[in-house]
Amino acid sequence: MKGKSVWKIASYDDIFSIFRLSALIEIKKRPNVDKIGNKKLLLLTVNIIETILQLTTNISFVIQSKTFMSKTNMSMTIIALTHRWILYFRIGRLHSLSKRATKLSEELSIPVGDRFNKWADMFAKLNLLLYIPLAAVSFISLHAIHFRDMVFGYDCDELLSVILITIFLISLFVFMLLPLSVFSMYYTYLCLNLRSIMKQFQQSLDVLLKHKPEYSLRLYLSIKGLVVNMDSDLSLLMFTTSLYNTSTMYFGVTIWLHSEEYGTLSSLSSIWVLLTMSYIAFISMGISASFVHEAASDVYTEAEKRLNNGNRPAEPLRQFLKVADKELFLTVWRIVPIKRNFILGTIGTIFTYCILLETVQDMY
């Protein structure tokens, strides 16, 4: 219809529908699979087959070529597989977190359009659209380096070679890279949703404490509990995402410093497109997660300011400040807090260590 967007990632359902493409949640409307147990067994089988396929291909690649590129691909594959398996076992928790966030949004009467920022939809679309050039340059690159020889150790028909490369790329994109991309979308959207919840709670704080002090405390504890549970369930996945981005950064820096040693323009292009995709996702995750900390701090500061002004009932505010948390933030595997300086600090540190490591290797 006129005035409506043809393609928009505007809800958790949209994100989980993309998760479904990579066989990470139960496939709906499968007439041949009726029971839940059979569905779980089917998904487990798909994940095991994908793991074996990726490991076998990359191990063969390392044995045949023994190059920096093949070894780096192997390490990135292991990280991506680890991320996928963690997602496989925790996908139910992701469902639960999104439902709780939706319930709190409805309780605070936040319109659907105000729960997420428009830039999140833009970044999500850009991340997905980059798969098109990545697929093109990856295909050209694999065909140019005789993929069939390097992986399987023998020559084969040209048509069969094209089929093998196509199967490999579909497997790589759908089962390995897509879960990383979609998780970054989910994490970003959930963080932005939490921020909108806290902002709405802050705006309603005066009225809630005046007329419903006990309800306001319960509501805040529900919000705080959601943030704590989100960090508990997703901080490890944030760590594997950060680890994968570190690998792509190191890969990109090495190729940049020694571009003459690493083959064709298509090979270099595929690496730079992958690096761009990874850091678009990583930056959007870091920015949105830092918003959660800022929103929580604003709620605490607002309550403290009202108490100091003395214009509102002091006792409900004192009770609220006892349970309020100014330093409420998300972390990377319960180690590094994600605040405003996280993105610049992390990217700068990773880049510096990549340069340092490459310099040390050149010396020896």
pLDDT, tens digit (0-9, with 9 covering 90-100), for 279-293: 999 999 999 999 999
How would you label 297-330 residue by residue, b for 16+ Cβ within 10 Å and e otherwise? bebbebbeebbeeeeeeeebbeebeeebeeebbb
**Is a pLDDT exceeding 80 seen at residue 119?**
yes
Expressed in angstroms, the distance from the first to the final Cα of the chain is 63
Question: What is the mean predicted confidence (pLDDT) over 53-60?
Answer: 87
Q: Which two tokens stand for residue 218?
A: 């319960």
Q: Which two tokens stand for residue 288?
A: 């949105």
Please tell me what DSSP assigns to residue 332: E
Cβ atoms of 278 and 252 within 8 Å: the answer is no
Measured from the Cβ of residue 226, the count of other Cβ atoms closer than 10 Å reads 20
Cβ atoms of 247 and 79 within 8 Å: the answer is yes
Highest mean pLDDT: which range of 33-42, 238-247, 259-268: 238-247
Number of helices and strands in the chain (H, E): 12, 2
Using 50, 70 and 90 to split pLDDT, how confident is the model at 29? low
Measured from the Cβ of residue 4, the count of other Cβ atoms closer than 10 Å reads 6
What span, in angstroms and rounded, lies between the C-alpha atoms of 156 and 143?
Answer: 12
Summary mean pLDDT of the chain: 87
Q: Return the amino acid letter for 92.
A: G
**Is a pLDDT exceeding 90 seen at residue 61?**
no
What span, in angstroms and rounded, lies between the C-alpha atoms of 258 and 273?
Answer: 17
